[in-house]
């Protein structure tokens, strides 16, 4: 996999990160991009398109399509060795095409092998604990049809297979003390890799489950429960409530229903509510990879309540993320975000996104100005601090 004429969108360090969370956030924020990690001298790569994983590469031989086909029983050991040799002799050859021809695989079987290879490669990233990463805009890299993989699937399966049990439990404990799954998100779980084995956890999450109960749920291993919750929270499909202060008690799972109160809203209140709901839908759609749907909902929110600058900020960024021509889209986004950032009540994300765009447009001084504005308002903003460190190192 190559970086297809890419522009740098972001960069950072893997240390002290729960990288499964970082992967999901990158997919949600940048939509179509290439994530590359250099860890202990080895390179891992994932390509996102519209928020979904469509290609991946890892340095581990067992993730090669020939090894995946062999492990799945689709080809023999001799055929596997031959495929690997052909790919070694012809680096430009497409490994899945070589495997399909030499292994006489039906098109649907070859696609299954390719998808499994992509999942295996992407899942390796979840367990990385050291290294440096870059996020680059790629220019419509050729991708086979039918290869879209939910980022939650890679996080889930990677957590199960590669993250040490104690570390996984610690990561989930850091997320919060109570977890809940909205019933509207259940249909999406199949794309995250859930099956019947996860049914006990899903039932508990629909009612709300505490961190302590995760290891005690009947019918599912604690490690798998932790991995599932980690993936769901990373992708925004489940919510995590932070630990309660000492001396407080956790509310009961369900409160008795009292007689409903009739609320009469004014036209303005109704418009505010409709905008907030459209914004929430757009935010969720952007996180889930449905960029066109996100733009529609965010545009609706911005139209209903134009004075709420959060709506315009996320709309500008969504349009940029959904564009294939990042250079042209960057100029449009820059104008929109500059207009928003000029107001005293501008959301901090307007300055952060502007900083990224100014760096991409080779205006490091302006980029630094925006990143420093972010840190003045949010001192622990990790991404802005990382951007400033790299600008300083590069002497730009």
Nearest CA among 180, 178, 177, 121 for reference residue 149: 121
Residues 6+ away with beta carbon under 8 Å from 299: 315
User: Cβ distance 294 to 318 under 8 Å?
Assistant: yes
How far is Cα 68 from Cα 133, in angstroms, rounded to an integer?
Answer: 26
CATH architecture of 323-396: Alpha Horseshoe (1.25)
How far is Cα 59 from Cα 121, in angstroms, rounded to an integer?
Answer: 8
Q: How far is CA 50 from CA 30, 111, 295, in A?
A: 8, 20, 12
Q: pLDDT tens digits for the chain (396 residues)?
A: 443 334 678 888 886 557 899 899 889 888 888 899 999 889 999 999 888 999 999 999 999 999 999 998 999 999 999 999 999 888 888 899 999 999 999 998 999 999 999 999 999 999 998 889 988 875 445 567 788 899 999 999 999 999 999 999 999 999 999 999 988 888 899 999 998 889 999 999 999 999 999 999 999 999 999 999 999 999 999 999 875 444 444 444 333 323 333 333 445 666 777 888 888 888 877 766 678 888 998 999 999 888 888 999 999 988 888 888 877 888 899 899 989 988 877 888 899 888 888 887 788 888 899 999 989 888 878 778 888 887 887 665
Neighbouring CB atoms inside 10 A of 48's CB total 28
User: Cβ distance 159 to 231 under 8 Å?
Assistant: yes
């Amino acid at each position: 996999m190559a970086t297809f004429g890419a522009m740098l969108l972001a960069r950072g360090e893997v240390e002290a990160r729960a990288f499964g969370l970082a992967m999901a956030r990158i997919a949600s924020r940048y939509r179509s991009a290439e994530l590359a990690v250099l860890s202990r001298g080895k390179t891992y790569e994932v390509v996102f398109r519209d928020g979904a994983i469509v290609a991946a590469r890892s340095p581990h031989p067992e993730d090669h399509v020939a090894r995946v086909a062999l492990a799945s029983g689709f080809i023999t050991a001799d055929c596997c060795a031959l495929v690997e040799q052909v790919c070694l002799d012809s680096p430009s050859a497409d490994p899945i095409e070589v495997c399909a021809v030499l292994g006489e695989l039906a098109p649907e079987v070859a696609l299954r092998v390719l998808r499994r290879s992509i999942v295996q490669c992407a899942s390796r990233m979840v367990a990385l604990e050291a290294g440096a990463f870059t996020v680059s805009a790629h220019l419509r890299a050729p991708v086979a049809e039918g290869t879209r993989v939910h980022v939650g699937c890679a996080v889930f399966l990677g957590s199960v297979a590669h993250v040490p049990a104690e570390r996984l439990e610690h990561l989930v404990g850091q997320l919060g003390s109570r977890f809940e799954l909205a019933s509207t998100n259940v249909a999406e779980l199949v794309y995250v890799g859930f099956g019947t084995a996860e049914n006990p956890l899903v039932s508990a999450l629909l009612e709300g489950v505490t961190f302590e109960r995760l290891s005690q749920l009947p019918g599912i291993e604690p490690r798998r429960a932790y991995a599932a919750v980690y993936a769901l929270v990373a992708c925004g499909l489940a919510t995590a409530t932070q630990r309660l202060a000492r001396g407080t008690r956790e509310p009961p799972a369900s409160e008795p229903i009292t007689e409903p109160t009739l609320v009469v809203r004014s036209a303005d209140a109704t418009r505010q509510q409709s905008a907030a709901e459209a914004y929430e839908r757009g935010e969720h759609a952007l996180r889930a990879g449905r960029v066109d749907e996100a733009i529609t909902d965010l545009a609706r929110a911005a139209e209903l309540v134009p004075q709420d600058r959060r709506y315009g900020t996320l709309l500008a960024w969504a349009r940029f993320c959904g564009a294939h021509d990042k250079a042209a889209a960057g100029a449009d986004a820059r104008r929109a975000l500059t207009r928003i950032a000029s107001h005293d009540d501008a959301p901090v994300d307007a300055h952060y996104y502007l900083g990224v765009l100014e760096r991409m447009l080779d205006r490091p001084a302006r980029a630094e100005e925006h990143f420093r504005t972010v840190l003045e308002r949010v001192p622990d903003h990790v991404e802005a601090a990382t951007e400033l460190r790299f600008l300083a190192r590069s002497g730009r």
